[in-house]
């Protein structure tokens, strides 16, 4: 550090300035510590209390001083707000003996030039500023120039009087001699700072000091110490420049090799993607048949990369009862499924069509509102909606009545049911159909239309249905018209336009009863939904 600590009077003056700053800041603990240190110096003091008017136009800087090795601070400097950075450097040179050439001031994380004023740089006096000291060799500061500037400062200085003044003229004369000693000490300190230092990082294994930019120890190859940083103003040597060029060339070569490897891997992936089946590339034991198989005799599944022989996978597909074939690996549950192209490549065309038909049959059975064509041996089926009453099968081209759930092309529902009654006398099949419809009405699975008496069945959905013949809207619960003057609830007239169930039905889950209320009658009976 270029701060002078050896001179007793200079140290006392520094302590006095810090004590003044601590007292003005109201820091009792710091002021007590500085006063105790100042008392040990046994220096005569002349304390002057500054008035408020004298302190106007001043700024108190909280300065952190650091160089390449040490950090000291904070120290407090009182300066004029209108002062420039150049004037601040001269003030620090006068108070602490630090030459302006080695000073680098940093305000708000920015390096400032000599022309900036403190009024613009320090809007908030509570913030810290940094004084970085560069080596004298980097600043082109010679011993002669330092000594000359120090003498000129003593001869021409007309700045503010130090708050530390001596009591007697003899002491004042003695101070001049001490100032000369301080200049000599400053010269020695700057000479030490100007002396070349060994730059680099010491090896933690063999203690060899290596160049800062060397990635490993030159002797043993060990890595640099953790946290080591190259100095900011360090200039690489020729050997380091060559080493960096070699590392750059090696990095480019490595990137080129990696890019070629990526291209090869991409081409290999695209080749595998174009294949329907991925064959095994190494011999393996099938986990199903426990036999040894050579290269190409097995199949590796795309989803989970499990490998099986072709015959075992084919048997798994043919015996699967689900629409999706799961991986047959048994050591642990595997959630992967065989892809469609894998299944198509493992089985024959006929077996593949059987697999698809089995999947369609499962889909039909698991769909709630599905309807299968009534034509004998016809595989056609559909998914219907409430508003649809007819289904023309795309396989046999016959028209199915969804209301009667029968085939009666050329006749409507009423004509078909009347024809059934006539044929039931002599036709055994027609008699069975007639008895079946009658049983459905008795069991509540079908009903007569209250308008045209056609037998109707309710599909999925709500309790609303409409007769396919007379288009009457019917309530499935009351078995009567849904609205109009003919609305009745168990043959009791209901006062109102609608049947009333859609807004007065209330289901009691405890007693499982359905209550219907209107101005004429209140009825309670077991709810048809809950039995």
DSSP for 459-506 reads -SSSSEEE-TTT--EEETTTTEESBSTT-EETTEE-SSSB-SHHHH-E
Task: Identify the sign of the CA torsion 149, 155, 157, 161.
Answer: positive
- 312 closest CA partner among 342, 333, 287: 287
292 and 188 in one domain? no
188 and 299 in one domain? no
Q: Do the domain assignments include residue 24? A: yes
Last residue of a domain, one of 365, 393, 418: 365
- What averages of pLDDT result for each successive group of 10 residues across the chain (531 residues)? 48 75 78 81 67 58 82 80 85 84 85 82 69 84 83 64 36 44 50 54 83 81 85 81 85 92 90 86 91 91 91 91 87 89 91 88 82 87 83 89 82 81 72 78 82 74 73 79 61 49 38 39 37 33
> What number of CA atoms fall less than 13 Å from residue 149's CA on the CB side?
18
Just list the catalytic residues: 462
Last residue of a domain, one of 317, 341, 365: 365
284 and 164 in one domain? no
282 and 154 in one domain? no
Q: Do the domain assignments include residue 417? A: no
- 76 closest CA partner among 126, 135, 12: 126
Q: Do the domain assignments include residue 251? A: no
Task: Identify the sign of the CA torsion 29, 31, 37, 42.
Answer: negative
Domain of residue 326 covers 278-365
Cis, bond preceding 492 (omega within 30 deg of 0): no
Burial 479-503 (b: 16+ CB within 10 A, else e): bbbbeeeebebeeeebeeeebbbee
pLDDT score of 283: 92
pLDDT score of 264: 92
Count: domains in the chain: 3
Q: Do the domain assignments include residue 3? A: no
Rounded to whole angstroms, the Cα distance separating 422 from 61 reads 116
Last residue of a domain, one of 365, 398, 416: 365
CATH code of the domain in which 68 resides: 3.10.20.90
pLDDT score of 486: 58
Rounded to whole angstroms, the Cα distance separating 94 from 182 reads 12
Q: Are strands 58-66 and 128-133 parallel, antiparallel or unpaired?
A: parallel
């Amino acid at each position: 550090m270029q701060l002078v600590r050896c001179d007793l009077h200079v140290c006392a003056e520094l302590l006095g300035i810090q004590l003044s700053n601590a007292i003005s800041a109201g820091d009792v603990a710091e002021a007590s510590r500085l006063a105790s240190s100042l008392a040990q110096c046994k220096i005569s003091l002349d304390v002057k209390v500054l008035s408020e008017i004298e302190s106007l136009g001043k700024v108190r800087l909280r300065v952190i001083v650091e160089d390449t090795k040490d950090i000291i601070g904070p120290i407090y400097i009182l300066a004029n707000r209108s002062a420039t950075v150049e004037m601040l450097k001269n003030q620090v040179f006068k108070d602490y003996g630090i030459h302006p050439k080695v000073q680098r001031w940093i305000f708000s994380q920015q390096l400032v030039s000599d022309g900036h004023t403190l009024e613009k740089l320090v809007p908030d006096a509570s913030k810290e500023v940094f004084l970085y000291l560069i080596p004298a060799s980097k600043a082109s500061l010679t011993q002669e120039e330092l000594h000359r500037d120090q003498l000129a400062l003593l001869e021409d200085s007309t700045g503010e009087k130090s708050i530390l003044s001596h009591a007697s003229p003899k002491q004042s004369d003695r101070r001049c001699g001490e100032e000369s000693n301080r200049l000599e000490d400053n010269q020695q300190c700057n000479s030490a700072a100007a002396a070349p230092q060994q730059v680099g990082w010491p090896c933690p294994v063999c203690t060899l000091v290596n160049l800062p930019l060397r990635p490993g120890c030159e002797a043993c190859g060990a890595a640099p110490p953790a946290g080591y940083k190259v100095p900011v103003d360090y200039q690489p040597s020729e050997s380091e420049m060559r080493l960096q060029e070699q590392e750059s060339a090696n990095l480019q070569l490595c990137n080129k090799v990696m890019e070629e490897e990526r291209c090869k891997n991409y081409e290999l992936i695209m080749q595998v993607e174009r294949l329907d089946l991925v064959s095994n590339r190494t011999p393996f034991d099938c986990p199903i048949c426990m036999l040894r198989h050579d290269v190409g005799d097995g199949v590796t599944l795309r989803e989970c990369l499990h490998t099986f022989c072709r015959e075992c996978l084919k048997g798994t597909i043919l015996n699967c009862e689900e629409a999706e074939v799961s991986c047959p690996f048994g050591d642990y549950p595997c959630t992967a499924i065989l892809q469609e192209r894998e299944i198509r490549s493992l089985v024959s065309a006929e077996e593949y069509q059987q697999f698809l038909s089995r999947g369609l049959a499962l889909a039909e059975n698991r769909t709630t509102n599905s309807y299968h064509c009534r034509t004998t041996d016809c595989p056609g089926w559909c998914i219907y909606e409430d508003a649809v009453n007819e289904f023309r099968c795309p396989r046999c081209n016959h028209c199915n009545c969804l209301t009667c759930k029968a085939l009666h092309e050329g006749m409507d529902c009423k004509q078909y049911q009347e024809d059934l009654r006539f044929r039931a006398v002599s036709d055994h099949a027609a008699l069975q159909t007639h008895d079946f419809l009658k049983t459905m009405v008795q069991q509540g699975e079908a009903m007569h239309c209250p308008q045209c008496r056609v037998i109707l069945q309710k599909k999925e959905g709500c309790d609303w249905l409409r007769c396919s013949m007379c288009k009457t809207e019917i309530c499935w619960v009351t078995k009567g018209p849904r609205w109009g003057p003919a609305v009745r609830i168990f043959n009791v007239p209901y006062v109102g336009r609608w049947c009333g169930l859609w807004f007065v039905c209330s289901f009691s889950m405890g007693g499982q009863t359905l209550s219907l209320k209107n101005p004429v009658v209140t009825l309670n009976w077991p709810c048809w939904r809950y039995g």
